[in-house]
Amino acid sequence: MNTQLLPAPQLSTNQLVNIAQQFGTPLYVYNADRIEYQYSVLKNAFQTTDAHFFYACKALTNINILKYIRSLGAGLDCVSINEVQLGLLAGFKPEQILFTPNCTDFNEFEAAAALGVNINIDNLPILEQFGKTYGSSYPVLIRLNPNILAGGNIKISTGYGASKFGISLEQIPDILNILHTTQLKVKGLHIHTGSEIKDPQVFLQGLDILFKLVDEFPDLELIDLGSGFKVPFKKDENGTDMEQLGLMVGEAFKQFEEQSGKKLKVWFEPGKFLVSECGYFLVKANVVKHTPAKVFVGVNSGFNHLIRPMFYDAFHYIENISNPQGALTEYSIVGNICETDTFANDRMLNEVREGDVLVFHNAGAYGFEMSSNFNARLKPAEVLVMKETKHLIRKSDTFNDLLRNQIEIESI
């Protein structure tokens, strides 16, 4: 297996400083070369299996990111019909798109079927309604809940028994009854146990569960293991060992094929794995505030732009790129929102001065995508760096954007 890859590409401090000077802050910056590198890691790791990768675009849906990932050869995983339409607009073919919604009205499934994309169903009522509507004419995937607790945070664990996601294994008889009465065909079984999964055994545990169910579904073509691959956020942290996972999954499929005589594809939906490390979030230090308790660095952003530290207690490595040789000093990095929006407590940074630019690493996934206009603050711009060429791929909001869809009552 060819696993020899060049070192992961990074944008340099000088590049980031220049980008901040050119486009201003706050600003999201994405490195296309890093996305390509991450995709190469996946392709190399799963060479021994018939593996297909669908980018989970909920992580970052800018149309240029979608087009670039399509150019690499990936498919697209969508959780709303609007994401499906974005994917088609970006040039993905319907067969390259997987629609995996949750708690969605049936009209979105009808719209997805009209577009011809792959459909993944995760609850019995919709499964029955879809079967009665389409019968055997539109084979689907079924998302199961394997009752596996995994992931870096309970908020991103989706495969345990009390989760809202997937159909319980205990309800397999109900699934089979629906298939019998409606003639609906199932071409794939899907699980997704959560995000930030470091232990490859979690995927093997889920795979073993699905292999035992294959005989119940005679039209089965594929097994979908979702994703949740761990990416490192700290300097001394490791991510999922993709080479090891690829070998283990490849061996499991080989043994299954030898024992059953059935050859199945394997699908994955990496989101954070592809775009997290490509992203940099640049902010400016508005104020350095000394108090008897600690020293705060207040920046020109808040959880309206990057909510992960507040929502998930997520760690982002932060650097002062304006003064990289400054003396190390302890700061708490906070935002300008009228809430307790703390990005980092008691973090050692090179001395921060008002006007310095700080960079948050690993900001490509669920950064801009989860941003808002809370406090009537404006959403930031986005820049994509491709082969050292900088492209503005989203303008920052203007004041008029805050009013764009509001309708004033003239009598007030």
pLDDT in tens, 339-367: 989 999 999 999 999 999 999 999 999 99
Q: Which residue, 219, 218, 227, 191, is CA-closest to 207? A: 191
- Among candidate residues 185, 174, 180, 72, the one with its CA nearest the CA of residue 118: 185
Kindly report each contact of residues 217-220 with a partner whose C-beta sits within 8 Å and lies 24 or more positions away, as own/partner.
217/179, 217/186, 217/189, 219/139, 219/185, 219/186, 219/187, 220/186, 220/187, 220/188, 220/189, 220/262, 220/264
User: Cα 169 from chain centroid?
Assistant: 26
pLDDT for the residue 5: 62
Annotation marks residue 338 as catalytic: yes
- Residue of 78, 103, 278, 338 marked active site: 338
Q: How many residues does the chain have?
A: 412
Residue in 136, 218, 215 with CA at minimum distance from that of residue 183? 136
What is the three-class DSSP state of 383? strand
Please state, in angstroms and rounded to a whole number, the distance separating the CA atoms of residues 88 and 85. Answer: 5
Q: Which amino acid is at 280?
A: Y
Read out DSSP for 95-129? GGEEE--SS--HHHHHHHHHHT-EEEE-SHHHHHH
Q: What tens digit of pLDDT does each residue of 119-142 get? A: 999 999 999 999 999 999 999 999
List the one residue out of 81, 183, 98, 105 whose CA is nearest residue 137.
183
| pLDDT given at position 116 | 98
Omega of the bond leading into 309 within 30 degrees of 0 (cis): no
| pLDDT mean for each 10 residues of the chain (412 residues) | 66 97 98 98 95 98 98 98 98 98 96 98 97 98 82 47 83 97 98 83 91 96 94 89 95 96 96 97 98 97 96 94 97 95 96 98 97 97 96 98 96 92
pTM of the prediction? 0.93
pLDDT for position 153: 44
